[in-house]
């Protein structure tokens, strides 16, 4: 071979494209997926652990509003609103079919049976059954009403633990 000739070499393919660093399009996919997961995680935490977005959070806000209203409104009005709130919570908790028709002592017995905090609703909750029908001239002890408001708050907080284990019962649907 003479010195002026060129040597033929074999054709080499393209080098493999490395997966890192990611191309700009993949970075946008990763960022959007991360934000979506973060949003879902925050919503789950707020709903399940704090009750902020669920019925428990709404019930807690209404109970706090009832405590504040106790200073400016008549106690029998607040007691009537508490009774209504507890009925709505009970319907969400156990279904309309089980709780909507309960009145008087059977309503208080149901509250006592479903309250894991141990409050004696049958003894201390008579106000819930009579207050909505009391004339404004009748007096209600504010301390008793505050005790009922505190018991209702505990019931909502404690029922959270029991319903998370068993799940809420939906009327007409049976578990297998």
Q: Is the pLDDT of residue 138 over 80?
A: no
**Assigned domain for 35 exists:** no
Please report the pLDDT score of residue 65 as a whole number: 92
**Assigned domain for 1 exists:** no
Q: Note down the domain range covering 83.
A: 55-166
Please report the pLDDT score of residue 175 as a whole number: 39
Please report the pLDDT score of residue 159 as a whole number: 63
Residue 153: how many other CB atoms lie within 10 Å: 16
| Residue 65 to residue 3: CA distance in whole angstroms | 99
**Assigned domain for 46 exists:** no
Please report the pLDDT score of residue 176 as a whole number: 36
Q: Is the pLDDT of residue 75 over 80?
A: yes
**Assigned domain for 25 exists:** no
**Assigned domain for 61 exists:** yes
Please report the pLDDT score of residue 149 as a whole number: 92
**Assigned domain for 89 exists:** yes
Please report the pLDDT score of residue 35 as a whole number: 97
Please report the pLDDT score of residue 4 as a whole number: 67
Q: Are the C-beta atoms of residues 54 and 47 closer than 8 Å to each other?
A: yes
Task: State the first-to-last Cα distance of the chain, in angstroms, to the nearest integer.
Answer: 87
- 115 Cβ contact partners less than 8 Å away, ≥ 6 residues apart: 121, 151, 154, 155, 158, 159
**Assigned domain for 133 exists:** yes
Q: Which residue has the higher pLDDT, 2 or 125?
A: 125
Query: Could you report the per-residue pLDDT of 51-66, keeping only the tens digit for each?
Result: 566 777 788 889 999 9
The predicted model gives 165-174 an average pLDDT of: 43
Q: Which residue has the higher pLDDT, 175 or 74?
A: 74
Least confident of 5-9, 38-42, 70-74, 118-122: 5-9
Residue 19 burial by Cβ neighbours in a 10 Å radius (0-12, 13-18, 19+): exposed
**Assigned domain for 91 exists:** yes
Least confident of 112-116, 137-141, 153-157: 137-141
Domain count for the chain, please give it: 1
Q: Taking the model in full, what pTM does it have? A: 0.61
Please report the pLDDT score of residue 139 as a whole number: 77
Q: Confidence class of residue 39 from pLDDT cuts 50, 70 and 90?
A: very high
């Amino acid at each position: 071979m003479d010195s002026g000739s060129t040597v033929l070499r074999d054709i080499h393919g393209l080098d493999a494209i490395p997966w890192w660093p990611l191309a700009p399009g993949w970075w946008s996919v990763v960022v959007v997926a991360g934000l979506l997961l973060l949003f879902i995680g925050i919503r789950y935490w707020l709903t399940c652990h704090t009750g902020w977005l669920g019925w428990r959070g709404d019930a807690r806000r209404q109970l706090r509003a009832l405590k504040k209203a106790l200073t400016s409104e008549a106690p029998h009005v607040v007691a009537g609103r508490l009774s209504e709130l507890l009925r709505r919570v009970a319907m969400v908790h156990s279904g309309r079919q089980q709780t909507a028709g309960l009145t008087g002592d059977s309503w208080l017995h149901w509250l006592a049976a479903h309250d894991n905090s141990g409050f004696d609703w049958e003894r201390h909750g008579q106000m819930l059954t009579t207050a909505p029908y009391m004339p404004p001239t009748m007096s209600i002890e504010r301390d008793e009403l505050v005790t009922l408001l505190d018991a209702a708050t505990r019931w909502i907080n404690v029922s959270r633990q029991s319903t998370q284990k068993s799940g809420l019962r939906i009327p007409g649907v049976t578990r297998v």
